[in-house]
A = this chain, B = another copy of it.
């Protein structure tokens, strides 16, 4: 599959429209047969929801594409040849990814992530491990963060490295890593972003980004991680995506090893040598993405179906987390990826569905009771409506359709 430029702009307009995330994007295309038709239908849908339709305009989309082009980037769409197939098979894969650098996203990859305040030993082992994995032919995926991430990128510059950013392509975080991004691009690596140009990464963008890191990879290796750290979120996404999870052990007295030791107790493969990763991933990679990295829920092989959007069983997908333009009602409590509870993508949706019944309730009331922002409620309701699970009533009220 290859989108035309016009289709690509329609996709961009649709995914950038308020209240539309990867999951409702799919729902809309399923319902209306394409992005253009969905964009036409959205104003009416919004009116039924009692809110103004704020579409991402053609001009805005063209501006974003041009701005991305100026820094050497381009958009790749789910299902296109350069779009990573492993990621495509995950729940809530981004319909569009902004790519700078080489299209190396379909090479066998493994994620190496860990603490920003890593120990010297942790950094040294990350480097040794990453180098060995790179020399064995694996591309290394990480998040461009301080500590383990940077060490992993640097150690795999010559063998292939992919950095996934939480903000827009022009919003490198931390800014001091701009030179590393240049080095990655100069050495044939790739830099990816889901968020629009100009998007400054906020707290919630990091866990959201982490699903892409794990989704690109046959396995995720956590080198050092405190409890409740961002790396554990990546590991959890990897598990949800039916990918392998590896963890490097450490002393029980080192808080930076608490998270990895916990992972090992929970079944992650203990890694103290490159071979421990290769022994597990070798056979899986040999089988290829189709053979072994199937979605945990056994969904269809979307990439092989030209009309795949229409074939999707929506129930096979986890609900997406908050879409780009829908900041959550709950405040961001941290400024980067450390310190978050692992996001529960199904949370908002499940909470909202639980609050719905046969008796109509107002969407404002719903947002308040669910403890989420009005825009998240709108996004979830849009999905549910497209899925035929709710009915709209007067004065912005909705009720659950009894099945």
- A residues sitting closer than 8 Å to B (CB atoms) are 121-122, 124-125, 248-254, 257-258, 261-262, 264-265, 269-273, 276
Q: Give bound CA distance, A260 to B103, whole Å.
A: 41
Cβ distance A213 to chain B, nearest Cβ, rounded Å = 22
**A176 CA to B253 CA, complexed, in Å:** 29
A251: chain B residues within 8 A (beta carbon): 121-122, 125, 248-251, 257
Inter-chain pairs besides A125-B251, A250-B250, A250-B251, 20 sampled, C-beta below 8 Å: A122-B251, A125-B252, A125-B253, A248-B252, A249-B250, A249-B251, A249-B252, A249-B261, A251-B251, A251-B257, A252-B271, A252-B272, A252-B273, A257-B272, A261-B270, A262-B272, A264-B264, A265-B269, A265-B270, A265-B276
A253 and B121 CA atoms in complex are apart in Å by: 7
Known: A121-B253, A125-B253. A272 touches B276 (CB 8 A): no
Q: Which chain B residue shows the least CB distance to A129?
A: B252
**Cβ–Cβ contact A249 & B257, under 8 A:** yes
- Among B254, B265, B272, point to the contact of A261 (Cβ < 8 A): B272
- A292→B124 CA distance, assembly (Å): 44
Q: Which residues of B contact A262 (CB under 8 A)?
A: 272
User: Smallest CB-CB separation from A223: which chain B residue?
Assistant: B252
Give the chain B neighbours of A121 by CB distance below 8 A.
Answer: 251, 253-254
CB distance from A334 to the nearest CB of B (A): 25
Q: Are A249 and B264 within 8 A (Cβ)?
A: yes
17 contacts between A and B (CB under 8 A): A121-B251, A125-B253, A249-B250, A249-B251, A249-B252, A249-B261, A250-B250, A250-B251, A251-B257, A252-B271, A252-B272, A252-B273, A257-B272, A261-B270, A261-B272, A262-B272, A270-B270
The docked-state distance in angstroms from the alpha carbon of A250 to that of B261 is: 9
Q: Which of A250, A269, A276 has the most CB of B within 10 A?
A: A250
Closest 10 CB pairs of A and B: A249-B249, A252-B272, A261-B272, A121-B253, A121-B251, A265-B270, A264-B270, A250-B251, A125-B252, A249-B261
